[in-house]
Amino acid sequence: MFQQLKNIDTAFKHLRAFCIILILACVLICAYTVFKSYQFVANSQQHIYILANGKALEAFSAERKDNIPVEARDHVRMFHDYFFNLDPDEKVITAHITKALYLADNSAEKMYNDLKERDYYGDLISGNISQQITIDSIRVDVNQYPYYFRCYAKEKMTRSTSIVTRSLVTEGYLRNVARSDNNPHGFLIEKWNTLENKDLKTENR
């Protein structure tokens, strides 16, 4: 009689232990499933698809801080392209300079006004001179704010009789502003300054 009760008690303990282990296993599996589902949804929300020329291209979203060096360099590149890539056409010059001035503060406007007073743009038009810039490198220091940058480039002045290549080095600072259609990267160039702008070579055409 007592042996039978003892066996029943032992079986009950085993059954209870089994049930507890089974419940814990179910809880762990459910928690893991919920975690992985949340992780999958979060990852899928960072993927976007862009339709370009009839093709779907996958893109990934990222925090702004992860892209600051890339965006800052591209902002500086865009500004210099607009400011220095000029053709002997008043409308082209005005359009390019207008776009450039959206990306910088009054230091760029001051440079533009100085060139305008010296009739620099008038000389481009009257002499049928095309001006092109090639960016060699852009250094941006993201360890300080506003972000200091230095741009190394070459200018090519194409005249009817010659091509002049010039060395151009500029510097300035970048501060954060609101993004817009005119300023897609959300930076503004401040204290822009030309450190070097000298002739390297002249080729006859």
pLDDT tens string 103-157: 999 999 999 999 999 999 999 999 899 999 999 999 999 999 999 999 999 999 9
2 — pLDDT class (breaks 50, 70, 90) = very low
The answer to whether the beta carbons of residues 168 and 194 sit under 8 Å apart is yes
Q: Within 13 Å, how many C-alpha atoms sit on residue 132's CB side? A: 7
Q: Break the chain into its structural domains and give their ranges.
A: 2-48, 63-204
Residues comprising the chain, all counted: 205
pLDDT at 107: 94
Which long-range CB contacts under 8 A does 170-176 form with residues at least 24 apart?
170/80, 170/194, 170/195, 171/195, 172/76, 172/104, 172/107, 172/148, 173/146, 173/147, 173/148, 173/149, 174/72, 174/75, 174/76, 174/140, 174/146, 174/147, 174/149, 175/145, 175/146, 175/147
Closest CA to 201 of 156, 165, 152: 165
- pLDDT surpassing 60 at residue 159: yes
- Topology (CATH) of 63-204: Nuclear Transport Factor 2; Chain: A, (3.10.450)
pLDDT of residue 116: 92
